Amino acid sequence: MTRFLIALLLIVSAASAQAAVRIKDIADIKGLRENQIVGYGLVIGLNGTGDTLRNAPFTEQSLQSMLENMGINVRNETTSTNNSARPTTLRTRNVAAVMVTADLMPSIGPGERMDVTVSSLGDATSLLGGTLVMTSLRAADGAVYAVAQGAVMVAGYSVGGQAQNVSQGTPTSGRIPNGALVEREVQGSLHEMEYLVLELKNPDFVTATRILDAVNRYAGGRYRAQIAFERDYRTIVLSKPRYVGPVRFLAEIGELTVEPDTPARVVINERTGTVVIGRDVRISTVAVTHGNLTVRVTEMPVVSQPAPFSQGQTVVVPQTIVEANEAGSQVAILSGVDLQRLVRGLNQIGLKPSGIIAILQAIKTAGALQAEVIVQ
């Protein structure tokens, strides 16, 4: 398994070393981003799997407010004997309070639809078969940008009885495809931008320089001008030609390909045993050995009987057996001229992921690992 993982890392790194990617895949346009919107609503029509109103008072208050807005008074009722009012207690289990979240795409206009995510807020056990009642979705500025409503699609389920329960997935969360109707457009447009700014998703000096050269090389032949200049290692400013629309201009620039540069980095996740080694990781020549010492301690108490007529007592005498075993290991020389040689050296030792993690940390402590180590 360890050799398979290391070989997989080698194949992926070797392929990425020769592959060029499009600019639109490694950079975003500043100002064109998604906006998060959120709302609070009720899901109705559940088959007895909704909130317990006694444990979730906010669900009961929301249900009462919704019914009052429809002209139904459920907060109190008047008795026919003394015309006195007493509160009404709701005991329905077909309603659940939920939070509705969505990402508002840039340049989306009123009347368009988008998907929303519905998540339970109370103690409901499942949202399967429920319908979201009209819910307003607000952004950080407090304005309503969309209204959501529709049947909730749940992928998981949960069934059971008193002695056993079977569940798969998360039945308390679901989605509504095209469940939100956009009511307001986000301010800002490409035509209002004087300059178009590219922001790298993974900032790097070499990658920014390669994008700059690729854009100016293309613009020199296409527009007879140099239209790009760097602001820093993260952003590149583009000066759009006057006779070209922003959409066509960005479409042409986004299809240009460059080879992004990746930092020398080793990512280690000790909980899952995952090791990811970057393409440019180098190791100075070192000799490495790794062995496991196993110590087994076994307790075997022995009953000691006294001799006949000795007036002695029967006692339990402890007996401890200690066994120590140290497995043999090989000494391998690691020299990180390239990733292939590094993988071959680690593969010679025949280690498990935990052993590879320990060796890489030890090599970093010795100063021979010329890369950044990130432990998750």
Q: pLDDT tens for residues 176-232?
A: 999 999 998 877 666 667 788 889 988 889 899 999 999 999 988 888 888 888 888
Count of all residues that appear for the chain in the document? 376
With a pLDDT cut of 90, the percent of the chain lying above it is 20
Q: Where are the domains of the chain?
A: 35-72+90-154+168-182, 189-258, 265-375
Q: Which residues share a beta bridge with 320? A: 299
Q: What is the pLDDT of residue 12?
A: 45
Residues 210, 259 contacting (CB under 8 angstroms):
yes
Q: What is the pLDDT of residue 15?
A: 44
With a pLDDT cut of 70, the percent of the chain lying above it is 76
Architecture of the domain delimited by 189-258: 2-Layer Sandwich (3.30)
**Confidence at 54, pLDDT banded by 50, 70, 90:** confident
**Confidence at 44, pLDDT banded by 50, 70, 90:** very high
Mean pLDDT of the chain: 79
Token pair in block for residue 82: 């003394």
Token pair in block for residue 100: 């509705």
**Confidence at 62, pLDDT banded by 50, 70, 90:** confident
Residues 300, 267 contacting (CB under 8 angstroms):
no
Radius of gyration for the alpha carbons in the chain, expressed in angstroms and rounded: 33
Q: What is the pLDDT of residue 31?
A: 77
> How many other β-carbons are positioned within 10 Å of the β-carbon of residue 354?
13
Instruction: Tell me the per-residue pLDDT of 73-116, one tens digit each, with 9 for 90 and over.
Output: 876 655 445 555 555 567 788 999 999 999 988 778 889 999 99
Q: What is the pLDDT of residue 7?
A: 46
d(CA 124, CA 134): 19
Q: What angle do CA 232, 238, 244 make, to 5 degrees?
A: 175
294: left (phi > 0), else alpha (psi -120 to 50), else beta? beta
Burial class, 358, CB count within 10 angstroms (exposed 0-12 / middle 13-18 / buried 19+): middle
- The answer on pLDDT for 321 being more than 80 is no
More confident of the two residues 292 and 12: 292
Residues 114, 138 contacting (CB under 8 angstroms):
no
Please tell me what DSSP assigns to residue 153.
B
Q: What is the pLDDT of residue 246?
A: 83
Q: What angle do CA 51, 53, 54 make, to 5 degrees?
A: 125
Q: What is the pLDDT of residue 223?
A: 86
Mean pLDDT within 305-332: 69
Amino acid at 73: N
> What pTM value is reported for the model?
0.65
Q: What is the pLDDT of residue 298?
A: 66
φ, ψ of residue 197 in degrees (nearest 5): -115, 125
- The answer on pLDDT for 8 being more than 50 is no
d(CA 187, CA 143): 12
More confident of the two residues 76 and 22: 22
- The answer on pLDDT for 1 being more than 50 is no
**Confidence at 294, pLDDT banded by 50, 70, 90:** low
More confident of the two residues 13 and 341: 341
**Confidence at 331, pLDDT banded by 50, 70, 90:** low
- The answer on pLDDT for 244 being more than 90 is no
Which three-class secondary structure state does DSSP give residue 240?
A: coil
Distances (CA, A) of 348 to 67, 356, 362: 72, 12, 18
Q: What is the pLDDT of residue 16?
A: 44
Q: Of 21-25, 268-272, 291-295, give the range with the top mean pLDDT.
A: 21-25
d(CA 115, CA 103): 8
Amino acid at 110: P
Please tell me what DSSP assigns to residue 185.
P
Which three-class secondary structure state does DSSP give residue 138?
A: strand
